[in-house]
């Protein structure tokens, strides 16, 4: 297999040959044809999130997903604002770290990584602390693969009149989301997750009336979401600083392929089927999932280390990589786990092949 392998990781993930192919050329940034592509991407992203152009806009931002989160947190919360962070994993905690470093007032409501964010507790806290202006949380916590109750949480947040910020990094494009109907104010995702592009930029679906209030809020020049929006609007698809042209082209191709597949609804079904066969085969091979089935997303699955004698993650990882599969280490401090993604250009036969290799590893070490 050499160095050719399938990424069973939650982004970067396996992309199609046709997405990779459009990057084999140098592309300019300043002319109308490029700006037209950017504008088309912006409008397609709204369409995927079921948000109207009348009330929403989408802003693209250079950098990985975290840059998009940091641009959003750093731009939309005013000096006298207070952010409530709901966290049940490492990405929720990362939002907290951003708020701390930027000097934004915040408080965190934390849950165990094996539990979803509890809507009632959030509701109670919002009642008790009227200083809260914004609430941020992660939709699919990639730390474990747990799926938080997005619609119910946003409903509660909006009932209290707060601004809802959602890190939908690992779910947008793979799980249907109703941004406008549910009232999400800001939704952040990136080029290298369920849209199946390559890494290089993040994007934010924004409630325009809210974003319009955010001039001069930003704590950073390059991560100023408001300013990026203004330039993209006024100059019809221009980014303020050098944009990742190849990545943008690849993303535009990835969007065409998402449409060809049948949109988010169809892609969701493919991911779900991948995930279900994965769990079925892994359980047959003697592995157990970390999460209760009802809390599990179709994006990524966490498995406990098995009690096979001689098992080590490192040896299994290398065994699988030699056979063309790259899986993902765990991210929990107290439990020994590893993770397998079911997103990307990955299909049932890949899951079957992976699990056959895992079974072969288990048999090998048992001998
Ligand atoms: C991937 C991911 C991010 C962003 O991570 P980057 O390494 O900056 O791309 C943020 N939140 C979640 C839930 C993610 O899965």
The pLDDT tens digits for 132-183 are 999 999 999 999 999 999 999 999 999 999 999 999 999 999 999 999 999 9
Q: What is the pLDDT of residues 342-360, one digit of tens each?
A: 999 999 999 999 999 999 9
In a domain, 190, yes or no: yes
Rounded to the nearest whole angstrom, what is the distance from the C-alpha of residue 327 to the centroid of ligand 1?
17
> Among the atoms of ligand 1, which is closest to the Cα of residue 69?
10
DSSP 8-state class, residue 304: E
Q: What is the pLDDT of residues 64-122, one digit of tens each?
A: 999 999 999 999 999 999 999 999 999 999 999 999 999 999 999 999 999 999 999 99
Asked if residue 239 and residue 284 are part of one domain, the reply reads no
> Among the atoms of ligand 1, which is closest to the Cα of residue 141?
13
202 lines ligand 1 (CB under 6 A): no
CB half-sphere exposure, 52, CA atoms < 13 A? 7
Among 92, 168, 170, 204, residue to substitute to test ligand 1 (most atoms within 8 Å of Cβ):
170
Residue 31: which pLDDT band, with cuts at 50, 70 and 90? confident
Q: What is the CATH number of the domain that holds 102?
A: 3.40.640.10
| pLDDT at residue 13 greater than cutoff 50 | yes
The confidence score (pLDDT) of residue 65 equals 98
| pLDDT at residue 2 greater than cutoff 60 | no
Rounded to the nearest whole angstrom, what is the distance from the C-alpha of residue 331 to the centroid of ligand 1?
13
- Nearest CA among 313, 314, 318, 315 for reference residue 302: 313
Rounded to the nearest whole angstrom, what is the distance from the C-alpha of residue 367 to the centroid of ligand 1?
39
Q: What is the pLDDT of residues 206-229, one digit of tens each?
A: 999 999 999 999 999 999 999 999
Q: What is the DSSP string of 43-56?
A: HHHHHHTT--TTTE
| pLDDT at residue 1 greater than cutoff 60 | no
Q: Which residues span the domain enclosing 32?
A: 17-259
Residue 365: which pLDDT band, with cuts at 50, 70 and 90? confident
72 lines ligand 1 (CB under 6 A): no
Q: What is the pLDDT of residues 287-305, one digit of tens each?
A: 999 999 999 999 999 999 9
User: CB neighbours of 320 closer than 8 A, spacing ≥ 6?
Assistant: 326, 327, 354, 357, 358, 361
Q: Tell whether the torsion through CA atoms of 216, 217, 223 and 224 is positive or negative.
A: negative
Asked if residue 290 and residue 252 are part of one domain, the reply reads no
Average pLDDT, the chain: 96
Helix (H, G, I), strand (E, B), or coil: what is residue 66? helix
167 lines ligand 1 (CB under 6 A): yes
Q: What is the CATH number of the domain that holds 285?
A: 3.90.1150.10
In a domain, 304, yes or no: yes
In a domain, 44, yes or no: yes
- Domain limit, last residue, from 259, 290, 320: 259
The confidence score (pLDDT) of residue 139 equals 98
Asked if residue 328 and residue 198 are part of one domain, the reply reads no
The confidence score (pLDDT) of residue 28 equals 86
In a domain, 1, yes or no: no
316 lines ligand 1 (CB under 6 A): no
Alpha-carbon distances, residue 213 vs 73, 77, 218, 361 (angstroms)? 14, 10, 12, 56
Asked if residue 312 and residue 218 are part of one domain, the reply reads no
> Among the atoms of ligand 1, which is closest to the Cα of residue 67?
8
- Domain limit, last residue, from 219, 243, 259: 259
Q: The whole model's pTM is what?
A: 0.97
Asked if residue 272 and residue 239 are part of one domain, the reply reads no
Among 62, 72, 169, 298, residue to substitute to test ligand 1 (most atoms within 8 Å of Cβ):
169
64 lines ligand 1 (CB under 6 A): yes
> Among the atoms of ligand 1, which is closest to the Cα of residue 193?
1
200 lines ligand 1 (CB under 6 A): no
- Nearest CA among 55, 51, 111, 56 for reference residue 87: 111
Asked if residue 254 and residue 276 are part of one domain, the reply reads no
62 lines ligand 1 (CB under 6 A): no
The confidence score (pLDDT) of residue 364 equals 86
In a domain, 39, yes or no: yes
| pLDDT at residue 188 greater than cutoff 70 | yes
Looking at the structure of the chain, the number of domains it has is 2
- Domain limit, last residue, from 240, 259, 278: 259
Q: Give the Cα separation of 126 and 206 in Å (integer).
A: 23
The confidence score (pLDDT) of residue 3 equals 73
CB 330 within 8 A of CB 256: no
Helix (H, G, I), strand (E, B), or coil: what is residue 339? strand
């Amino acid at each position: 297999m050499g160095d050719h392998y399938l990424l069973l990781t939650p982004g970067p993930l396996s992309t199609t040959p046709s997405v990779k192919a459009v990057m084999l050329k140098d592309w300019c940034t300043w002319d109308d044809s490029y700006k037209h592509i950017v504008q088309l991407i912006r409008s397609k992203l709204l369409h995927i999130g079921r948000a109207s152009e009348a009330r929403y806009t989408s802003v693209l931002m250079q950098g990985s997903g975290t840059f998009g989160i940091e641009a959003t947190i750093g731009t939309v919360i005013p000096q006298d604002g207070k952010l409530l962070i709901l966290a049940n994993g490492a990405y929720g905690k990362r939002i907290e770290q951003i708020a701390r470093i930027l000097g934004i007032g915040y408080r965190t409501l934390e849950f165990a990584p094996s539990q979803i964010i509890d809507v009632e507790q959030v509701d109670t806290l919002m009642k008790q602390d009227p200083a809260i202006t914004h609430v941020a949380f992660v939709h699919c916590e990639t730390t474990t693969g747990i799926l938080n109750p997005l619609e119910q949480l946003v409903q509660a947040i909006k009932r209290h009149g707060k601004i809802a910020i959602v890190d939908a990094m690992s779910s947008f494009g793979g799980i249907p989301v109703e941004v406008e109907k549910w009232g999400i104010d800001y939704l952040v995702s990136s080029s290298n997750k369920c849209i199946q592009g390559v890494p290089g930029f993040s994007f934010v679906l924004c409630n325009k009336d809210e974003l319009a209030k955010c001039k001069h809020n930003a704590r950073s020049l390059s991560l100023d979401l408001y300013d990026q929006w203004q330039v993209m609007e006024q100059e019809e698809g221009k980014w303020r600083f050098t944009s990742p042209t190849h990545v943008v082209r690849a993303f535009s191709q990835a969007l065409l392929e998402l449409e060809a597949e049948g949109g988010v609804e169809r892609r969701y079904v493919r991911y779900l089927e991948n995930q279900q066969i994965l769990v079925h085969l892994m359980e047959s091979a003697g592995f157990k999932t970390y999460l209760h089935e009802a809390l599990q997303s179709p994006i990524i699955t966490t498995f406990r280390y098995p009690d096979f004698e001689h098992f080590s993650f490192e040896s299994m990882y290398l065994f699988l990589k030699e056979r063309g599969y790259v899986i993902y280490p765990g991210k929990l401090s107290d439990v020994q786990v590893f993770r397998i993604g079911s997103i990307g250009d990955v299909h049932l036969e890949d899951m079957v092949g992976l699990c056959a290799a895992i079974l072969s590893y288990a048999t090998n070490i048992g001998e």
